[in-house]
Amino acid sequence: MIGASGQIGRPVVAALARDGWEVTAASRGGGRDDAWDTGVRVARLDRADDGALAAVVGDGCDLVVDVVAYDASHARQLTSLADRIGAAVVVSSVSVYEDGTGRGFDTTAEPDGFPVYPVPVPESQPLVAPGAATYSTRKAALELELRLAGAELPTTVLRAGAVHGPHSPLPRELYFVKRNLDGRRRRVLAHRGESRFHPASARNVAELVRLAAARPGSRVLNACDGEAPTAAEIGAAIDTVMGVETETTLLDGPPPGGTVGGGPWSVPLPVVFDMCAAERELGYRPVVSYPDSLPGTVEWLTGALREGDWRERFPLMARAYPGAFDYEAEDAWLPRA
Ligand SMILES: NC(=O)c1ccc[n+]([C@@H]2O[C@H](COP(=O)([O-])OP(=O)(O)OC[C@H]3O[C@@H](n4cnc5c(N)ncnc54)[C@H](OP(=O)(O)O)[C@@H]3O)[C@@H](O)[C@H]2O)c1
C-alpha cells in the first residue's frame, strides 16, 4: 500500500488487514495508525525512488494499492514491475472528466467555463486530454498509461470524488466546523445552498479498494459516497453533530465579492457521479453515509484547530479556498441581507 498513512490509506490498510491480507503499509514517514492490526508491516518508502519501490515489492506481491499516483511516470513505475505485481488498485480523481465541450475542473474559473455534466456522470463520460499541464490532465495520463498495460497489470482505477474523513489534507468540512467553533451563527450560502459536489468518505473509498482487491481486473470506477448532499444539507448535518443552531441566508447566484457564501461545495451546477458500475461490478455498498461519517471528522477537525491557525494546519485547504473564512467580507455583506 503506497501512501498508507494518509486519509485514504489508513482505512484501506485496516480494511485489507481485516480481510486477511498481509499488508505492507508504505509512506515516506513510515507512519502507523493506532487502529491497524499489529500484523501490518510498516515501510519507509519515497515512491519517487524507483529502486526503493522495487525493493518494497521485493520478489513479488499479489496487489499494490497506490493512492499517491499522479502522472504517467507513476503508472510506468508500476507497469515496469508488472511481472512481480499480481494486480493494482490506483486512486485517480473525478477531475479527469470533461463535459464534451472542453469544459472541466480546469476551466471552472473561466467565463462560462463551468462544466455541464450529466447527472450523474458515468465512467463513459469524455475525459480531458492526457498531458503534463494540470493535476487533471496528469491524472488522465496516469489512467491512459495504466489502461495501455492491459492484462499485463490488471488495474482497478478509482476516480474519487471530494474525499472526506479524519486526517484529510483538504478537509472541506472545515468550512462549517470552524464557523461553528468561532461562534458564527449566521451564514450565507450561494446558489441557494443547492450546490452538489459528490463527497467520498475515505472509508467508502477503502471499501471499494477492498472489493477490487478481492476481484482483480482492468476497470475504471467512480469512487463516491452513496449520496451527494447539497451544501445546505452538509451545513445542517454538521450543525446537528456539533449541537448548534444557525441561520442561513440563501443567495440565488454566485458568491458576492467572490467569497461571501462560497466555499468548497459552492458549484453552480451539479457535480454528481454514477455509482452503478461499482455496484454492478464489485457489489459496492457504501459502508458509511455522509451524516454518519461526520462525528469522527468533526472531532478530528476540532482537535486539529486547537493546534494552531487553520492556514498552517491545512495549507492545501488554504491554497484551494483562500477566502473560505473571509468573515470581514461576510460581516460587511450580512447587514444588507
Ligand atoms: N482530497 C480529495 O478530495 C481527493 C479527490 C480526488 C482524488 N484524490 C486523490 O487521493 C489521493 C490522495 O490520497 P489522500 O487524500 O489519502 O492523501 P494524504 O492524506 O495526503 O496522504 C498521502 C499519503 O501518501 C504518503 N506519501 C506522500 N508522498 C509520498 C511518496 N512520494 N512516497 C510514498 N508515500 C508518499 C503520505 O505519507 P508521507 O508524507 O509520510 O509520505 C501519506 O501516507 C491522490 O491520488 C488524490 O489525487 C483526492
Give the integer Cα–Cα distance in Å for 335 and 337.
Answer: 5
Quick one: pLDDT at residue 159? 99
- Cα 181 to ligand 1 centre (Å): 27
Distance of CA 155 to the CA centre of its chain: 19
Between the CA of 70 and the centroid of ligand 1 the distance, in Å, is: 10
Give, using CA atoms, the residue closest to atom 41 of ligand 1: 28
- What is the Cα–Cα distance from 271 to 284, expressed in whole angstroms? 20
Which atom of ligand 1 lies closest to the CA of 8? Answer: 16
Nearest protein CA to atom 37 of ligand 1, as residue: 27
CA distance 331 to 185: 12
Per-residue buried b or exposed e for 300-309, using 16+ beta carbons within 10 Å of the residue's own CB = bbeebbeeee
Give residue 258's pLDDT: 85
Residues of the chain with pLDDT under 50: none
Closest among 27, 136, 139, 145 to 78, alpha carbons compared: 145
At residue 334, the pLDDT reads 86
d(CA 54, CA 24): 13
What's the pLDDT at 131? 98
Question: What distance in Å separates the CA atoms of residue 161 and residue 205, rounded to the nearest whole number?
Answer: 9
196 C-alpha to ligand 1 centroid (Å): 24
Measured from the CA of 94, which atom of ligand 1 is nearest?
Answer: 6
In the reported structure, the alpha carbon of residue 168 is separated from the centroid of ligand 1 by a whole-number distance in angstroms of 9
Rounded alpha-carbon distances, angstroms, from residue 14 to 1, 167, 224: 11, 15, 19
Query: How many angstroms separate the alpha carbon of residue 7 from the centre of ligand 1?
Result: 7
pLDDT at 287: 98
Q: What is the pLDDT of residue 337?
A: 61
Burial of 63 (0-12, 13-18, 19+ CB in 10 A): buried
Cα-to-centroid distance, 162 and ligand 1 (Å): 13
CA 3 to centroid of ligand 1, rounded, Å: 6
Query: Can you give the pLDDT at residue 196?
Result: 98
Residue ranges lining ligand 1, Cβ < 6 Å: 2-9, 27-29, 31, 45-48, 67-68, 91, 93, 160, 162-163, 167, 169-170
Nearest-atom index, ligand 1, CA of 164: 3
Instruction: Identify which of 13, 45, 67 to mutate to test ligand 1's pocket (most ligand atoms within 8 A of the CB).
Output: 67
Question: To test ligand 1's pocket by mutation, which of 139, 163, 174 has the most ligand atoms within 8 angstroms of CB?
Answer: 163
